[in-house]
Amino acid sequence: MKQLIEALKKSRRTAALTGAGISTLCGIPDFRGPQGLYAQPDAERIFDIDWFDRDPSIYYRGCRELVYGLKDRSPGPVHKALKHLEDIGGLDGIATQNIDMLHQKAGSSTVWEVHGSPLLHHCRNCGRAATFDEVCAMLDGKEAAFVPRCPVCGAAFKPDITFFGEALPEKAFAEAQALAIRAEVMLALGTSLTVFPAAGLPRLTLQGGGKLFIVNAQPTPLDRFAVRRYPDLAEFAEAVLSLRQA
């Protein structure tokens, strides 16, 4: 990790792009890793907007634990390492593909959720909002296929997670792009770098003359553009947590 740590010490503006791999250290499964969510049959329907409108119970059944179990999850070593990097200076911000809200729980101040979040849900018909806690309360004690519905019009509540077939949240993605463009060092952490447009963010850093470091167990399509790919996120977190203020 020496090369990466040296680059972090020199960098005046570091950005991070995080993915589901950083939360496997908190017991949350990723999507495309060996134990990932997409290893289940028909899992690609879970975050698909057309399937949601046809049958919202596919999402609620598939995500009962993954999303609505988040109230009991705590930040892991990588979340803490990024908060530490912010505290000692140098971390400009985080673009995350994760929907688990754990960077915020760790105390990071600049987090752009490019795939949205379940913090709010909206009725698919009338747009009425429900908070994450309200939806958790509706689900409490109900069977796996239960769909929380709008009290006004009866349509399903959908989380503000970006499903396949939906546009990314505009402001969050624009801010993430700006972060990537001005970064001297981009850290791609625990992401397969396969879902676009988020996976294109490190390219903006490279085009702006910045350096890319990847920490991910499996190879990614951007490995050849990176200074290096390291496989071990726990080792990365430990190395960053031992950094002291310059």
Could you list the active site residues?
Answer: 115
Which DSSP category does 16 fall into? E
User: What is the rounded distance in angstroms from the CA atom of residue 49 to the CA atom of residue 18?
Assistant: 23
Residue 116 beta carbon to ligand OAD: minimum distance, rounded to whole angstroms: 7
- Half-sphere exposure in the Cβ direction for 102 (13 Å, CA): 30
Q: Which residues bind ligand OAD (CB under 6 A)?
A: 19-21, 24-25, 30-33, 36, 47, 97, 99, 115, 161-162, 190-192, 194-195, 216-218, 232-233
Q: Which does 115 bind (CB under 5 to 8 A by kind): Zn ion, ligand OAD, none?
A: ligand OAD
**Are 56 and 80 within 8 A, CB to CB?**
no
Which of 89, 222, 115, 240 lies closest to 176 in space, CA to CA? Answer: 115
**Binding to Zn ion (CB under 5 A): which residues in 143-202?**
150, 152-153, 155
Residue 215 beta carbon to ligand OAD: minimum distance, rounded to whole angstroms: 7
Q: Which does 125 bind (CB under 5 to 8 A by kind): Zn ion, ligand OAD, none?
A: Zn ion
User: What is the rounded distance in angstroms from the CA atom of residue 190 to the CA atom of residue 121?
Assistant: 26
Residue 123 beta carbon to ligand OAD: minimum distance, rounded to whole angstroms: 20
User: What is the rounded distance in angstroms from the CA atom of residue 86 to the CA atom of residue 228?
Assistant: 22
Q: Where are the alpha helices (H) located in 38-91, listed in sequence order?
A: 49-54, 57-63, 77-87
Residue 230 beta carbon to ligand OAD: minimum distance, rounded to whole angstroms: 9
Q: Does 129 bind Zn ion (CB under 5 A)?
A: no
Task: Closer to ligand OAD by CB, 115 or 121: give it.
Answer: 115
**Are 202 and 175 within 8 A, CB to CB?**
no
Options 18-26, 75-83, 142-150, 165-173: segment touching Zn ion (CB under 5 A): 142-150
Interface positions with Zn ion (CB under 5 A): 123, 125-126, 128, 150, 152-153, 155
